[in-house]
Structures are given as structure tokens and as C-alpha cells.
Structure 1
Amino acid sequence: MANETEVTTQNPDILLDAELDAAALEAALPSLAEKLGVLAGELTVDERAVLSSIVTSASEHLQELQKGNEEALFVFAKPISAAATPEIRNRLIGLPGELGFGEK
């Protein structure tokens, strides 16, 4: 079995995934959204369009996943997912509007 250094070199996110829990993700979202808002204001038009596309696509995907079942439980491949709880999903769904990205 590979030692920890080898594992993290191959996949640097593995430790982040293992250490994050739903409470940590929920606590991090407000400051992350604020930082993304600042970043969005500093981007070129093209960069802003790309960020908008990424954030909006993620939001739309989560909306589709939870259609018809607001309390749906999802199974994720990672130990913890950015959309692990209904609170996190709802915050991510609203992120495009929070960042000032228009609806499609």
C-alpha cells in the first residue's frame, strides 16, 4: 500500500475530502460565496462568462437532482460531497443569483 505522501501526490484532494464534513461545508459556504463574488467582479467578460457557466450548470444540475423530492438522499462517490445536505444544495442552487449571474 502506498504511503500517505504518495497518495496525496497522486490525488491532492484526497485529504481534503476525508477531512470535510457537512457542518464544515455549510460553515464555509458564506465566505466562499463572498470570495467568489469579489473574484467575479475582477474577471474579464470572457472569464466571468466561464465562471457563470460553471456555477449556473452546477445549480441547474442540483435542481434536476432534487426535483420532486426536496429531502432526497444522494449517494456520492467521494466521502463527502459539496451537495451533501439539503442546506448545502439549496445554497448552491441559489449561488448564481447571489453572484449576479443571470438566469438562462
Structure 2
Amino acid sequence: MPNVTYIQPDGSRATLEVRSGQSVMDAALQAGVPGIVAECGGSCSCATCHVHVDEEWFVRLEPPTAIEVELLEFAADARPTSRLGCQIILAPELDGLTVHTPAAGNGR
């Protein structure tokens, strides 16, 4: 099972072992990771599961869909490495993925 590290704006970290096929958003919600709100429940219709992906990992992800790119335009503190956590599906090759929750929060 891949590990994902979530880093908060204050630098605190939570590393979770996540089953393959689960999204970064789902894993965060199940573990109570702060900063991941997921108002739409993972249907890719909001940006409240927005994360910043470490650059080394960003290039390894599948490219975002046009809908995801459009939603990220409305995300607080969006950056070039921003993605929606609901759209990052974990697989063994993503073991060690590191994401940061935005300083501005995701709707809370």
C-alpha cells in the first residue's frame, strides 16, 4: 500500500498508508486530515480538496482533466503544482507522495 504524507501550513505532517485505488481526498477524510473539506464528496465539482503536490511528484501524476483545471482557477492559494485530491488516485508507483494543504484553507 502506498504512503502519502500530508503537510499542514504550520509544517506538521501526517503520513498515511493508503490502499491502491483510493484518492488522496478519501484517505485524508478518513484520517481526519485538516484542510481537506471535500464539500462535493469527490465528484470533481468544487475545489475544497485542493492540495499542492511536491514538484518531484507532480510530474509523475496523470495530467488534470479540463474540468479539474477549471475548478483550480477558483481554489484558494492555487499554484502551478495544485491538484484536486479527489483526482489523485493512489497506486504503488505513488508510494511516498507528498502533498501540502493550502495556507488559505479549502473552504473552512
TM over 0.5: no
Select the structure with the greater relative contact order (CA < 8 A; seq sep ≥ 6).
Answer: 2
Larger radius of gyration: 1
Hey, which of these two has a bigger chunk of strand by percent? 2
TM-score of the superposed pair, with normalisation by structure 2: 0.24
Hey, which of these two has a bigger chunk of helix by percent? 1
TM-score of the superposed pair, with normalisation by structure 1: 0.24
